[in-house]
């Protein structure tokens, strides 16, 4: 692993691990703040989780998001499935950002500016995570490998068939 990845992954992960722990510790207050967003997500979440033995209320959604951030952050920090972890973390930023940083609803200029900074920080972090999710560490991507193998198979097959 390159030195940059060794240093950058834990740095990027730190916000998610801390944020995920905070979500777990303060799930109810965060759920109350996220209620407008979780209410909109509820029909899709209910449909996707109808087989679970419990309901996915706002508090549980915050907790699941928090667990995903802690686990994904730890995976990214330690280099365990970093592409998958980065993608999962980027996905957690969608409800986190729209649930917690709705700056356009703030009337106080100071609070509005603060929430806007957090909103844009999350957008920036999502961009970094999306880049990390496609980082193959210099190795060929799965798509390239598949195309390469298909080309080799085609060449072999053409040699086996009579002209």
The per-residue pLDDT for range 10-28, each reduced to its tens digit, is 999 999 999 999 999 999 9
Residue 162 pLDDT greater than 90, yes or no: no
Bigger pLDDT: 158 vs 92:
92
SS3 letters across 53-113: CCCCCHHHHHHHHHHHHHHHHHHHHHCCCHHHHHHHHHHHHHHHHHHHCCHHHCCCHHHHH
Structural domain of 126: 3-160
Classify 133 as helix, strand or coil.
Answer: helix
CA gap 104, 25 in Å, rounded:
27
pLDDT at 163 over 70: no
Q: What is the pLDDT of residues 100-134, one digit of tens each?
A: 899 999 999 999 999 999 999 999 999 999 999 99
| Residue 85: partners with Cβ closer than 8 Å, 6 or more residues away | 72, 73, 75, 76
Closest CA to 24 of 62, 74, 72, 71: 62
Token pair listed for 95: 């409800």
Mean pLDDT, the chain, rounded, equals 91
Mean pLDDT of 49-76: 93
Percent of the chain predicted with pLDDT > 70:
99
Q: What local confidence, expressed as pLDDT, does residue 161 receive?
A: 75
**Per-residue pLDDT at 37:** 87
**Cα 146–chain centre separation:** 26
CB 129 within 8 A of CB 86: yes
Q: What is the pLDDT of residue 1?
A: 59
Domains in the chain, number: 1
- Rounded to whole angstroms, the Cα distance separating 21 from 24 reads 5
Lowest-confidence region among 55-69, 75-89, 92-106, 127-141? 127-141
User: What is the Cα 19 distance to its own chain's centre?
Assistant: 13
Would you say the pTM of this structure is higher than 0.85?
no
The angle subtended at Cα 22 by Cα 17 and Cα 23, nearest 5°, is 100
């Amino acid at each position: 692993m390159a030195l940059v990845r060794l240093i950058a992954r834990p740095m990027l992960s730190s916000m998610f691990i801390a944020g995920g722990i905070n979500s777990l510790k303060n799930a109810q207050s965060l759920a109350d703040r996220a209620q407008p967003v979780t209410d909109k997500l509820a029909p899709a979440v209910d449909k996707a989780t109808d087989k679970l033995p419990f309901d996915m209320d706002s508090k549980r959604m915050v907790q699941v998001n928090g667990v995903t951030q802690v686990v994904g952050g730890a995976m990214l920090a330690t280099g365990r499935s970093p592409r998958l972890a980065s993608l999962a973390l980027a996905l957690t930023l969608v409800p986190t950002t729209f649930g917690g940083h709705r700056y356009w609803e703030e009337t106080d200029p100071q609070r509005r500016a603060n929430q806007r900074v957090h909103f844009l920080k999350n957008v920036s972090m999502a961009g970094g995570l999306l880049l990390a999710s496609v980082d193959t560490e210099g190795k060929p991507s799965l798509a390239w490998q598949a195309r390469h193998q298909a080309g080799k198979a085609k060449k072999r097959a053409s040699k086996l068939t009579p002209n």
